[in-house]
Amino acid sequence: MSKPVGIGIVGCGNAMDGAYMPVVERLAQQGKARLVGVTHSSRAGCRALLKKWRVPRYFNTLAELCSADEVDLVVVLTPMRQHAAMALAALAARKHVLVEKPLALTLPAARRLLAAAKRARRQLMCAPFVTLSPTFTLVRQRLAEGAIGKVCLARGRYGWAGPDWSEWFYQRGGGPIFDLAV
C-alpha cells in the first residue's frame, strides 16, 4: 500500500464513538488509514467527540467532505433514512463507501447504490462490523465446513427497546426491523 487510506466520517454519534473510532485509531497506528475529518448535522452536536478523538478537520457539509481530495473512503454513520442518499453522494464523488446497516430502506434504492458503485468503480460495503466480525466469520466458516452437520433450523435471539439518545428508532424508516432484522 503506497499511502494510508484517507477516511471521512459522516455522523458523529454512538456508532462513531463506540465502534468505528477505535478501529480507525488502530489502523492509523498501523499506517493503513488516517482520519481526514468528519461532518455531522451540527458541529455543536459532536463537539465532545471532535475533542475526544482529536479529529483533524470538521467539514460543514457532506458535499465538502466528499470533494476533499484526501478523502478516499466515506463512512456513513447517520440515521437509516439518510444512508442511501449519502452513500450515493459519496459514490458520485468517486469515493469508496462503508455504510452502516441497512444499506437503504428499499430494495430499489439498494439496487441504485450497487449500480452507482459499479459505474464509479468503487467499493461499497454495508455493516462491516457485522459482516467482518470475527465471531460471524468463524460461524460462517464452521458451517461451510460442516462442523456441526447439516443445519436445518436456526434460532437467533437479540433485541433491545431502542435508543434513548435519538428518535430515529421510533420513526418511519427506523425501528427493530431495520435495526436488528437486517
Give mean pLDDT in consecutive 10-residue pieces for the chain, a chain of 182 residues: 90 85 92 95 86 92 97 94 95 97 91 97 88 82 93 79 71 71 66
Q: Is the Cβ–Cβ distance between 77 and 10 less than 8 Å?
A: yes
Residue 31 lies in a domain: yes
- Summarize pLDDT for 103-149 with one digit per residue, the tens: 998 899 999 999 999 999 999 999 877 767 788 889 889 999 999 99
Residue 85 lies in a domain: yes
Residue 135 lies in a domain: no
Residue type at position 81: R
Q: Is the Cβ–Cβ distance between 86 and 78 less than 8 Å?
A: yes
Three-class SS of residue 34?
Answer: strand
48 and 94 in one domain? yes
Output the pLDDT for position 173: 67
Q: Supply the CATH number for residue 86's domain.
A: 3.40.50.720
Output the pTM of the full model.
Answer: 0.83
Output the pLDDT for position 182: 65
DSSP class per residue in 58-123: B-SSHHHHHH-TT--EEEE-S-GGGHHHHHHHHHHTT-EEEEPSPS-SSHHHHHHHHHHHHHHT--
Q: Which three cell numbers stand for residue 35?
A: 482520519
Closest residue by Cα to residue 7 from 27, 61, 45, 19 = 27
Output the pLDDT for position 1: 54
Q: Which three cell numbers stand for residue 59?
A: 467539514
Range of the domain at 160: 145-181
152 and 113 in one domain? no
Q: Is the Cβ–Cβ distance between 97 and 91 less than 8 Å?
A: yes
Output the pLDDT for position 144: 92
Q: What's the number of domains the chain is made of?
A: 2
